[in-house]
Chain A
Amino acid sequence: MNGPENILVDLAQMWRRRDPMPDSLVAKALAAIGTANLDADYELLHLVERSHELAGTRSGVGDTRTIAFSGGAFSLLLRVSELTDRSCRVDGWVSPPQAMTVKVTQQARSFQALVDTLGRFEISPLPTGLTRFWLLSEDAADESERSFATPTFEL
């Protein structure tokens, strides 16, 4: 009666109760897939690190987070500083440094900025929320320089 398979069913039930999937995860996955068709020519970057520095001020304003993505030899580092509880400033660095266009998409909104030849860019203010970064190589003719996209993540 209480064979191993029944126990596994009970265990699955238990973990579902104790550590449930976030309610928004399915919606996020669908949103990511929804834009994926647009990005056939983009190489997907992976999240490699997130860190959080608390500024010690009230209500999180002034907090700074660092989020790093990479894909092959390319990497993107974002420094996110809270401006208000609904907006932030993003300073970005791409490596290797190269002139690129950076596009930021959030649901129906999008923002754009230029990456300078030293690989730096900034976008401010940027609303917080589910966000995706797209980096378009300026020199599409150069095969060594490609275009990149991050997964959708919470800014």
Chain B
Amino acid sequence: MNVVATKDVKGPSVSLPDASDASNDASVWAQAADHFRRWRAGEPFAIDDLVRTLTPVLWHVVRSYGLGRGEAEDVVQTTWLALVRSHTSISDPQAVTSWLTTTARREAWRVLRATSRAVLVGDEVIEVRTAPQRPVEVDAIAAEESDRLWDCVRLMSLRCQALLRIVAFDDRPDYAGIAAHLQMPIGSIGPTRGRCLDKLKTLLAMDCGPRR
């Protein structure tokens, strides 16, 4: 099995800006549009670049819905197959990322409903991965910051956690889909997002949770 390290999802021959570094979401969109355009122009391997660029984003969007890891993997694969089947319906290559995240969200929602679970996010959202690897030196400060952030995020409502996770990975989210999923009026998504961020900042200012 071809194992691809999470931190290094780049293809061997392409020099992408690090797709796992979402410090520049706009460039993820731009890269995705470029790969998609090349694929449709007849470069068969451009779709591999597209998959490497956007699969991490789809993973986090789908997991924010509270699906288990196995189910989330299936949803991501189904989403990619849907793209291969339906790509002709995407007229503007710039729209490929939003098409994929919207498709992934719908599929995640469908799986939740089909399995008769509460559509509202469950506790799995805060499922903790056991023993995150202890980072060394360079990563240490970022890791400490990340742990502190994690401690604060866990104090928030599941709805806030889900909403923040979606917007952290999808900078042009489909508010209608999110509203349906979180059972909120569409007009309240923007204000809720703002309130969740404010609350998080307040928690951070109060230095929630133990420092390592």
Contact = CB atoms under 8 A, between A and B. Distances in A.
Given A24-B4, A27-B1, A36-B84, A12 B22 contact: yes
B7 to A, nearest CB: 9
Contacts of B76: 25, 29
Secondary structure class of chain B's binding surface, majority of residues: helix
Contact of A33 (B6, B71, B80, B107): B80
B201 A2 contact: yes
Given A2-B201, A21-B6, A27-B2, A14 B146 contact: yes
A21 B70 CA distance: 11
Q: Which of A7, A15, A37 has the most CB of B within 10 A?
A: A15
A18 B132 contact: yes
A107 to B, nearest CB: 9
Contacts, number: 134
Size bracket of the B interface: 35 or more
Contact of A44 (B5, B78, B145): B78
A84 interface: no
A153 interface: yes
26 contacts: A4-B194, A8-B167, A8-B168, A10-B145, A11-B149, A12-B60, A12-B169, A14-B146, A15-B63, A16-B20, A16-B56, A20-B129, A21-B59, A22-B69, A23-B3, A26-B51, A26-B55, A27-B4, A29-B51, A29-B55, A29-B76, A36-B85, A46-B110, A47-B78, A151-B77, A153-B74
Given A23-B3, A26-B9, A44-B85, 12 more contacts: A9-B168, A11-B165, A12-B169, A13-B146, A15-B60, A18-B150, A21-B55, A23-B5, A26-B4, A33-B81, A36-B85, A44-B78
Interface of A: 2, 4, 7-30, 32-33, 36-37, 40, 44, 46-50, 130, 151-154
